[in-house]
Every structure is written in C-alpha cells, then in structure tokens.
C-alpha cells in the first residue's frame, strides 16, 4: 500500500505537460531546461541571474547523483518544473527531485550485445514532449518513456546495430516529431537523419547524409563508395521556427583516413544540412571539409543567432568546426560569410570566393605520415560551445595540438572498423590512453572567446590539460565549463578571468546547465560517473 501511495505522489509531482510551444519559448521560463542545448537556437545561454560574478565564489555543493555505471557520463540533464531527467550510460533513464537529489524512478534499458559505437557506450541526453521522454540508444533504437512513471511506451528499431549503427545524441523535438541521426561512420554505415511521430513512433521521413543514385550530391562519390560512405550524426540539431528549418551537423566519410577509393567531395559528409522538418527535404548545405581525410567530423551543435552583420540585421549560424576554423553562415540560404582559424591550422590557407577551403599541397595522410594541425581530435569536437547575446561573444572549448596522419589500405566488412589507419598524437583520446608521441610538442586545452563579426579572439583561458566539456553562459556574464583535470570552473565571460572552481574528482565530459526551483538557482554538471549540483550558500 505504501508503495502505491509513493508512486501516486511521484506521478502527481511529474504531471507537467511540456508542449512544443513551451520548448520554443524556453527563454520565458528559464527555471527549466527543456531541450538539450537549453533552447532550439542551441546557444546554451540562460537568463537566470541569481548567481553573479560578485557572489559566485559562494557556490557550494548541494547534492550528488552517483550513477551505477563506469561508462563516460556525457549527458546534459533536462529539468521540468522541479524534476530532473538524465541518462546514466549507456541507456538508463533517471528521474530526480531537482532540489534534493532524491531519485524518483529509474528505467533500465539493456542494449543488444552487438551494439558497438566507436567512441564509448555513451548517451548525451533526452528529449521531452507532453509527458513523454524520448531516448536514442547505442543499439540504434528510439524509445518513448512515460515521464511520470518511467514505464516504456514504445520502442522503435531505427537501424541495424550489428552493422555499426548507433544513436548517441539527445533527440530533437520539432512540432509533433522526434528527430534523430545515426552514429557509426567508423564502421562504414550509410548515415541518415530521420523523423518519427512522437505519439506512435512511426517514421515520417528519412534523409540520407550520403546520397544514393539519382539523388543530388551522388556524383561526389566515386563508384560504389557511397554505400559505405559514413556521414554520422553525433549531436542534436537546432531549429528556426520563422524559417521552418532544422539544422544538423554531419560526420566524416568512410574510411576516415584513406580517401583513395572515394574520389570527390563526398557530400554531405563534413557538412551542415538545412532540412524542412515537415518533409525531410534538403533546402541547403555547406561543406566545411570537402573530401575529408582527417576525420574532421562536422558534428558540432549549430548555434543560431540574430545579429548586425556589416550594418544590416542578419540571421546567422555560428560554427566552431573540428577542422580548426570558426564560421559564420547565413542560416536562411547557407551563404558563407566568414571563416577564421581559432586554433593553429596548416592544412588550408584561405577560402575561395565561394567559401571553399583552399588546401595546402602535400598536407594529406601518407604511408610515411604527415603532420597536420589541428590533430585528430580537432580544434574542438562534439562538446557544446555557447553564444552570449549580452557579450556578443562565441565561446569555444578548444584543443591546440597536432597529429601525424598515416594511411593504410582497408576493405569493408560489415560491423568492423573501416578507417584506414590511425593518427598518432601527443594527446590521448581518453586520459587513460597511451600516448604515442611522434611530435616534439604537447597539446593543451583552452576556452577561447571569439568575436563573430571580426573572427578575432578576444580572450583565452588556458587549462593544464585538454577539455571535453561543453560551455554554459548566463545573463550575469558568467561562463561555466570543466576540464579533464577534474575541475569545474566559473569564468568572467567578459574577460576570461577565473572566479571560482571546484574539484569534482573526475573529468568533465558533458555540458553544464542551470535551472531554478522555488526561486533558487542551481548549476549542474556531470563529471566522472556522477552528477554534481551547486547553489549559493544559504544563511544558517
């Protein structure tokens, strides 16, 4: 009887309906965090203002959720009316009282044994619509879960996990659709983005990121190389309601480091694609790295902003790319407006009149090895940047380092790695990895603030190690970020000065977020295998 009463009490607590109108107007209820990047524009900017540069040094730990998993904790939590929803890797959904840290329920999902994502058994978050949560899984399923009780509602197989397909990102809600993309480019998949009816799980449309015969862009693939062309999607897209366009970043072509058998630009890999969310039709694209042989996935989150551009208001897209270049695009048309390095780059030396990068001769993978900057992890990677409309600066978690790129012959076998060698770098992909140091330099991580109008760096906060952390900015000009060394930092977003730090004991590999309950602002971040939640000290 007590158990029934408890379940009824929890269900009453979790009764709020999250309409798409609420998701679109996320800025009107900053106490909540209703979508992966905080808003559909993906700025990771909050208007909450209780925590300021003057009092941030009074932050103290409020509670910790210890995940029952030793996998990488890369999820950004959602918060809806005082309830937090997150994922303990690989695919267990957890509902938590956002004020106290009390676990309300856990839904456990066991992926298929043949699931083999390339870069860890990870999940980066959830989506919510109505009173239903949505999660993609590492065995390429899409699940609907009752947010009140944690009970599964439907389970849709999106792709074949045995062939290397996976879903690692938080789904995107647009109207009545749940949109996801598939990871698995290192296994020679043919990537795609698909939309599913939120109520039933029925697939409404599918857009292949590697076009087949008769589709625009197919001519950019030699022979049958399109069949194993890659084109992963790792990260959640963005949406502009006024233009009715959804934007998604697409990963590398396959094989990663040997392009000999896939001559051509290899569209739409290493591109941003703008799709009609009602039909999945391609409206425009821009390719950051044509015929990529450096694994420079364009899987970063598209950040949307409205700003004055050379004296005129313009709808722009801001993009810090893995290839080391910071871009400004017109998000209405895809027109290239500007591209500038934000880390040291030696594989290109400018853009032509159409915004295509001009390659430096000889800067390609070879059997002997070629030194390329940035290195294989890129100038940045999947970790979320932030744009502050107050400071008008764009903030990038950055890596400054190089790799030796080597290529080897490789044949495709379903379900096996399809890469064509492995670059060597002074910086390991994970902190516990072995360093095969073939260069005389050591890499480092930094948070870099860029002026989108000029493309110039305004300040840098240099770390003692690299960072896999996303960034959060707020209306009080605070910037929150973490690093591999285990610290969670608060910086002054205007000048990069360190205001506060906390040792979490594990590397931060997730995007911070902020919310409020009963008028009190909290900041949360996943680190190691735990979720840490901070707030200002209260009088005792």
467 Cβ neighbours under 8 A, 6+ residues apart: 383, 397, 399, 445, 446, 447, 481, 482, 483, 484, 508
**Nearest CA-CA partner of 349 in 340, 379, 263, 404:** 340
Count Cβ neighbours within 10 Å for each residue of 294-307 and write b for 16 or more, e otherwise: bbbbbbbbbbbbeb
User: Rounded to whole angstroms, how far apart are CA atoms 532 and 241?
Assistant: 34
User: Rounded to whole angstroms, how far apart are CA atoms 273 and 191?
Assistant: 13
User: Rounded to whole angstroms, how far apart are CA atoms 104 and 9?
Assistant: 10
420 Cβ neighbours under 8 A, 6+ residues apart: 255, 256, 257, 258, 365, 407, 408, 409, 410
**Nearest CA-CA partner of 169 in 286, 277, 274, 250:** 250
Report the SS3 class of residue 218. helix
- Using alpha carbons only, give the angle 259, 263, 264 rounded to the nearest 5 degrees: 115
Residue 69: count of CB within 10 angstroms of its CB: 15
Say which of 92, 204, 295, 492 is annotated catalytic.
295
Facing residues of 271 across strands?
287
Residue 540: count of CB within 10 angstroms of its CB: 3
User: Rounded to whole angstroms, how far apart are CA atoms 407 and 412?
Assistant: 15
Active site residue 295: yes
Facing residues of 393 across strands?
388
Residue whose entry in the numeric block shows the structure tokens 């100038």: 379
The catalytic residues are 295
């Amino acid at each position: 009887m007590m158990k029934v009463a408890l379940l009824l009490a929890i269900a009453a607590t979790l009764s709020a309906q999250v309409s798409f109108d609420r998701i679109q107007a996320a800025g009107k209820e900053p106490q909540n965090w209703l979508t992966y990047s905080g808003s559909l524009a993906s700025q990771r900017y909050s208007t909450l203002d209780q925590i300021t540069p003057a009092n941030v040094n009074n932050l103290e730990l409020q509670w910790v959720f210890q995940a029952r998993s030793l996998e990488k904790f890369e999820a950004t939590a959602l918060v809806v009316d005082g309830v937090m929803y997150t994922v303990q890797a690989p695919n267990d959904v957890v509902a938590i009282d956002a004020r106290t840290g009390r676990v309300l329920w856990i839904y456990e999902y066991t992926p298929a044994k043949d699931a083999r994502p390339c870069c860890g058994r990870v999940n980066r978050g959830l989506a919510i619509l109505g009173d239903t949560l949505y999660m993609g899984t590492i065995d390429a399923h899409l699940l609907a879960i009752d947010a009140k009780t944690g009970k599964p509602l439907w389970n849709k197989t999106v792709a074949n996990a045995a062939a290397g397909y996976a879903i690692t990102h938080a789904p995107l809600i647009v109207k009545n659709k749940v949109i996801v993309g598939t990871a698995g480019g290192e296994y020679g998949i043919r990537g795609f983005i698909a939309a599913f009816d939120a109520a039933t799980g029925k697939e409404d449309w599918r857009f292949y990121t590697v076009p087949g015969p008769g589709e625009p862009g197919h001519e950019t693939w030699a022979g049958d190389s399109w069949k194993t062309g890659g084109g992963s999607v790792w990260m959640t897209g963005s949406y502009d309601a006024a233009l009715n366009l959804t934007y998604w970043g697409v990963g590398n072509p396959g094989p990663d480091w040997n392009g000999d058998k896939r001559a051509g630009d290899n569209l739409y890999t290493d591109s941003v694609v703008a799709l009609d969310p009602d039909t999945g039709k391609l409206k425009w694209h821009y390719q950051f790295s044509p015929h990529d042989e450096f694994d420079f996935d364009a899987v970063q989150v598209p950040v949307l902003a409205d700003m004055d551009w050379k004296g005129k208001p313009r709808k722009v897209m801001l993009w810090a790319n893995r290839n080391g270049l910071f871009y400004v695009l017109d998000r209405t048309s895809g027109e290239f407006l500007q591209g500038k390095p934000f880390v040291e780059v030696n594989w290109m030396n400018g853009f032509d009149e159409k915004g295509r990068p001009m390659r430096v001769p000889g800067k390609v993978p070879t059997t002997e090895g070629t030194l390329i900057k940035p290195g294989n992890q890129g100038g940045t990677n999947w970790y979320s940047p932030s744009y502050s409309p107050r400071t008008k600066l764009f903030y990038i978690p950055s890596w400054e380092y190089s790799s030796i790129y080597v290529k080897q012959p490789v044949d495709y076998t379903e379900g096996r790695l399809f890469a064509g060698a492995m670059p060597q770098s002074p910086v390991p992909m994970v902190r516990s990895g072995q360093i095969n140091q073939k260069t005389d330099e050591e890499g480092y991580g930094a948070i870099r603030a860029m002026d989108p109008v000029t493309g110039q760096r305004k300040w840098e906060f240099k770390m003692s190690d690299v960072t896999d952390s996303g960034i959060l900015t707020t209306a009080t000009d605070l910037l929150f970020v973490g690093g591999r060394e285990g610290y969670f930092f608060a910086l002054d977003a205007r000048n990069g000065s360190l205001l506060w730090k906390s040792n979490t004991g594990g590397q931060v590999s997730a995007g911070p977020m902020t919310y409020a309950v009963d008028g009190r602002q909290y900041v949360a971040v996943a680190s190691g295998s735990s979720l840490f939640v901070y707030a200002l000290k209260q009088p005792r």
